[in-house]
Structure 1
């Protein structure tokens, strides 16, 4: 990561930080009603995707900081006997993630960022986890996206570090970024460590990345 970081110019890093700040402000500015309506529209779009319809092991996230809420999808997934997983910050690891099976009785705690996740004690049991490569679909949160299907994350690199390891494995989940439509821009400054996505879904459109067209 250090060598990759050095490959970016100071201006590129500043551009990414400025965009991240602006787009986070955009989604925070949405009212509770706008957030709920966007979540419902997103759910309708996701349910129409063949990748989602086929998924038996799917990871999503609990919203934070104005992120679009994917949890309205949960009853539909449950009705299809799909298993749902949440990202958990791995203890004593290099800022990467576990994916832990989630149900309404799962004991939850706030992590160091104030985001709710399954407790470390619960997540530590291997039977409750599924490796990223063995998931069918991962729904990733975004700070921003562009018309070419590029993604801008929060900047911590948790998903990028976790998913970079899939390059050495023959199996790979479908990676679908989800966001409010107001988080879209014409062009994002990219970085070498950005993990390519298979699709981006907002509350009003589907974006297919260039490498899948």
Structure 2
């Protein structure tokens, strides 16, 4: 129910709303020390009403950062490919789910995310504890579990709108907190 409420607000956003927030979101994210010093960042291409990520992806790529983007697999797990610019993205329709923009190049395997110094996570909300509410498909829960099993400790950052930073979201035992949330108006860190 909570997911539907957040999605309904995003559905009401105009293309101008999303576009206006994209530059501000990128500017704040690029100030993060975790991204300023990163050699590899796992990120994603925003779709629909999600906070825009293309400006951020382009800025990281221009800095020489290796940007990994997800490729959705049939079982909802994620493979990864390197970002080579917006022109190297392909729109992929995954069954009854939304179409995603994915990298057109070589697939690097689900374990490639373990090389990331920072992981930018999509979400619908984050709470005061740093607990992220995702869409419910479990793709990023698998990514976070894979990182934990490998002993990898990248910075975990969620990109959201200001109204999606809330007091509390429901949690599951497997959920992992993020270290920070970036919104169009700034950055909030969690313990």
Q: TM-score, normalised by structure 1?
A: 0.80
Note the aligned Cα RMSD (angstroms): 2.0
- Structure 1: runs of 5+ lacking an equivalent: 1-17
In terms of fraction of residues, the more helix-rich structure is 1
Residue 168 of structure 1: how far off its partner (Å): 2.2
Which structure's CA Rg is the greater one?
A: 1
1:174 aligns with 155
1:39 aligns with 22
- Structure 2: runs of 5+ lacking an equivalent: none
2:115 aligns with 134
SS at match of 2:48: coil
2:69 aligns with 86
Q: Would the alpha carbon gap of residues 95 and 67 (structure 1) be closer, same or farther in structure 2, given more than 3 Å must change?
A: same
Aligned length: 187
- In the alignment, the residues of structure 2 paired with residue 181 and residue 143 of structure 1 have an alpha-carbon distance, to the nearest angstrom, of 11
Question: Which of the numbers 115, 130, 134 marks the counterpart of 2:100?
Answer: 115
Q: TM-score, normalised by structure 2?
A: 0.88
Q: Is the 8 A contact 1:134 1:172 kept in 2?
A: no
- In the alignment, the residues of structure 2 paired with residue 190 and residue 107 of structure 1 have an alpha-carbon distance, to the nearest angstrom, of 33
Residue 50 of structure 1: how far off its partner (Å): 0.5
